[in-house]
Structure 1
């Protein structure tokens, strides 16, 4: 159970390397501090010490059990450590309110919002979005590595958790003129950033099927990480070949039959409802209680007027519930 920043907290340990430049003394210090944090969490969870914050009187939307019921929430630093009656150094009265997990947009191009990253965060967080996974494909096609570095730098210390997938197709096609070209070797240094999760949508599915060396090099680079797909209309043995390279998701489905085929082959199907492509109504019938864990909602692109008038994932979920999706 984690509060809105839990992904960052949980990923810190993954970033530790015993061979790192920091050396063994700094690593020991981090290990010691982490142990102290764990001790504090245990004490607070057991009620031996007050929590930093207790949210009282809320109706808890428990997505683990599918229930909605009154409960208090104890938070220590940026982690939920317990549910039920707790003492806290600070109390937030949530009487009459619902407490629900924050929304995660699993695929978005932040550049399409036409907002600086901090301004996007300022717009999205009040709408319930706590995490986005972005592909800086658009700025990379204009500015290359400098554009990606800018996005990484400008997304630090925000109330929104922002993770990255590295652009797989810069330029998008060989038929266009772009401001940069990124090969597999250019992406290697970026993988050291703990916010980089893997390789973004592999749009060049013809290159995958043709075993293009440059495409395969990028896929090889991310074999131990997440690789997102982009394969509209791909089916049959070609789809199987595409998936065989380690690509695990697709957000380009427009037809119910297409989504079901990809689902049956083990892909995560990300249902897109953004400012441009709108596939929710066509694909939602594929979602059942048995397979809902294989689906996700994404916006892909969200224009500022739509953020203002319709919201972000909160607006998408509102539509989904109106179309018959159970709210919990």
Structure 2
């Protein structure tokens, strides 16, 4: 259906405001919502109609934590998000954006990016050149980019464990301001990843001051295990002294010793909000996370780019040092391996596609090697291009975090195009919320869950013209069956379509019918609302 004048009839409309869905019809003209009235009030008058009987009609979902920065550059359409009802993605999270770069840093950026992205040809340097390229390729979903603090660091400092001097910090600030002027929605950080792991709080505060009071700093915090509370305190300090709003990415508390403590973390966040710092957060509805396999290594092993990491992994002396660090820990370092155990680390994607779908503990048995030796072997053979699914959370903590009023939803799926066995959240986050956390789990009423997935992120991330069903807004809509919507979670066989999503509409045109993407690429790169 490509008509610009459509009447959606007979559905239960969840308008994004938080109330329970009500039976209503929605008139769409020229790609925007023209009217919302009780069923039967708006005459058909020969208009094209779309029967939504038995379905909930909601604003298109907004994924506030995506890593699909490269999706426009793929020859194939990335349908992993649109098929679950997502019509807008916030990309550039965890400090990883694909611009800016420069002549001196492009090689380091290209090599580092391959730890998480499929191989890319960096034909651009600044923010404007990158967005011009993505605009020319087109977008499946709307694209709301953040600029990554880690990318700024690589552009100016490379991958070294150094502190920027005043001139270097000023240069990072100029690059940040260029991106903000070019439509970036804020700045993200990933403080467990190189080179951001080497940054000090003062550096982040100085950069945050470029964002402005209404600007947004989003962060994968320095720690999500034993140091979670101190990491929250650092985030709040950046917001307070940087005079900007802050958003905590994928709030979690990892490690069995910390399970059940989520109310303490939420209390600290509430205290900060009460003190005048705007703090919001997001979650994904799974007890397992996913990231690059190098995240298992301690910070001293992550400096100096791929060459430095691989040189350490090939040094017997450094490997003895690594074994000691992994066993004894380091001050301030929340070890993923300690939080999950080797049987909780599932190799998900590698460059060669070897080792995928097995845990480190399982591979230890197959290869007759100690678990740490398995990790080192994979990183060496795959030249660091490997990712993992890691089981370190208590799902009840995730549900507790989602129930908190200012919590949104993000897929946090790894970038498309690498194949392998990516975390099922890439394909089913939003349907899983509706099936497991609303219908089966009763964590939140349906209308309130929809608010967390639509109007709340639109407000916090300043997404223009979307997030609610009301006259004047863009007609990005999703219809789903509340009795069947969901997604089968299988970490070893994750590539599965969600269930119960009936259709998805962008600017008044249906682009998904059931499990079929109709195309064409109908998304747009957005710029922040005023």
TM range (shorter): 0.5 to 0.7
Distance 1:260 1:221 in 2: 29
Q: Which residue of 57, 64, 81 corresponds with 2:34?
A: 81
Residues 104-253 of structure 1 mapped to structure 2, 5 A cutoff? 104-110=62-68, 116=74, 119-120=77-78, 122-135=79-92, 137=96, 139-140=98-99, 141-142=109-110, 143=122, 146=125, 149-150=129-130, 153-154=133-134, 157-170=138-151, 171=153, 174-175=160-161, 183-194=172-183, 196-201=184-189, 203=191, 204=196, 207-209=199-201, 211-212=202-203, 215-223=204-212, 224-231=214-221, 232=223, 233-235=228-230, 238-244=234-240, 245=242, 246-253=244-251
Answer 1 or 2: higher relative contact order, Cα 8 Å, separation at least 6: 2
CA gap of 1:101–1:252, structure 2 versus 1, over 3 A, is closer
The aligned counterpart of 1:101 is 59
Distance 1:314 1:117 in 2: 26
The aligned counterpart of 1:296 is 408
- What's the offset of the Cα at 1:310? 4.6
CA gap of 1:144–1:243, structure 2 versus 1, over 3 A, is farther
Answer with 104-113 or 72-81: which moved more.
104-113
- Offset from partner CA, 1:228-265 (integer Å, 9 cap, x none): 12323243754542331225110253231224322431
The aligned counterpart of 2:463 is none
Distance 2:396 2:73 in 1: 28
Partners of 1:118 and 1:155 within 8 A in 2:
no
The aligned counterpart of 1:315 is 432
Distance 1:309 1:243 in 2: 30
Q: CA RMSD in A?
A: 3.6
Distance 1:189 1:323 in 2: 45
Partners of 1:302 and 1:312 within 8 A in 2:
no
- Offset from partner CA, 1:145-188 (integer Å, 9 cap, x none): 63854466325653511101111122476349xxxx98222233
SS in 2 for 1:253: coil
The aligned counterpart of 2:472 is none
TM-score (normalizing by structure 2): 0.43
Q: Would you tell me which structure has more helix in proportion to its own residues?
A: 1
SS in 2 for 1:110: coil
- What's the offset of the Cα at 1:227? 1.5
SS in 1 for 2:59: coil
- Offset from partner CA, 1:277-312 (integer Å, 9 cap, x none): 675542322444xx52x1111122346655699524
Partners of 2:27 and 2:35 within 8 A in 1:
yes
Distance 2:267 2:76 in 1: 37
The aligned counterpart of 2:356 is none
- Offset from partner CA, 1:36-74 (integer Å, 9 cap, x none): xxxxxxxxxxxxxxx822111222224425222321101
Answer with 241-250 or 141-150: which moved more.
141-150
Distance 1:263 1:114 in 2: 38
- What's the offset of the Cα at 1:124? 1.8
Of the two, which has the highest radius of gyration? Answer: 2
SS in 2 for 1:311: helix
Unaligned runs of 5+ in 2: 100-108, 111-121, 163-168, 254-261, 274-278, 291-389, 448-530
TM-score (normalizing by structure 1): 0.67
SS in 1 for 2:9: strand
> Is structure 2 residue 265 aligned with structure 1 residue 258?
yes
